[in-house]
Amino acid sequence: IVLERATDRRYADYLSEKLWQPLGCSEAEVGLDRRQGTARTFATLFARAQDWLRIGELIRCNGLQGDRQLVPADWIRRMEVPRNADGDYGYHIWLKAHRTRSVRGIPAAQHFMASEDFVDPDTVYLEGMHGQTVCISRRHELVALRIGRKPRHAHWDSSHLFNTLLREVSGEPAR
């Protein structure tokens, strides 16, 4: 609401012009809080897998796309400053693997649990409502995307896949 009032534009139009189109992304859909309602800017952006990888790469490169600074590097750094008591969440980005039974009051059955911390302690990630995850490691120059719905059981290990990739690119033995 604040952004729409400040720019006198709909959120989706502003997002498209300032971020989505410059990144070369396909059409996406912003979720609304109700039919004909207000954009849910904290969540619910439906986009293609390739476009989520572009977002991950933009974060990995500190807001730089090619030679163009689409998002200020300082903003990307501020996103990654812990904003909660557990130190695992910044501005719309996760900073640590979920190793506890509850995340921000959400029971383990509704989010991914991790068996171990990320191999790269500076890994950050975006997590979708149904388990879509964009993991980002600047140190290893790696962005990985997990798509598809979360498995029905709560024992899915959210750190295993990315750690396997990180170990492979760093030459560490797989577990």
**Residue ranges in 40-159 assigned as alpha helix (H):** 49-60, 73-79
Residues 72-100: tens digit of each pLDDT: 999 999 999 999 888 888 998 989 887 65
Q: Which amino acid is at 83?
A: R
Residues 115-174: tens digit of each pLDDT: 888 999 999 999 887 778 899 999 999 999 988 776 665 566 778 889 999 999 888 876
Residue whose entry in the numeric block shows the structure tokens 């500190």: 62
CA 175 – CA 172 distance, rounded (Å): 9
Q: Which amino acid is at 139?
A: R
Would you state the pLDDT for residue 117?
A: 87
65 DSSP β-pair partners: 68
CA-based nearest residue to 119, from 134, 104, 101, 97: 97
Residues 27-36: tens digit of each pLDDT: 999 888 889 8
CA 140 – CA 148 distance, rounded (Å): 25
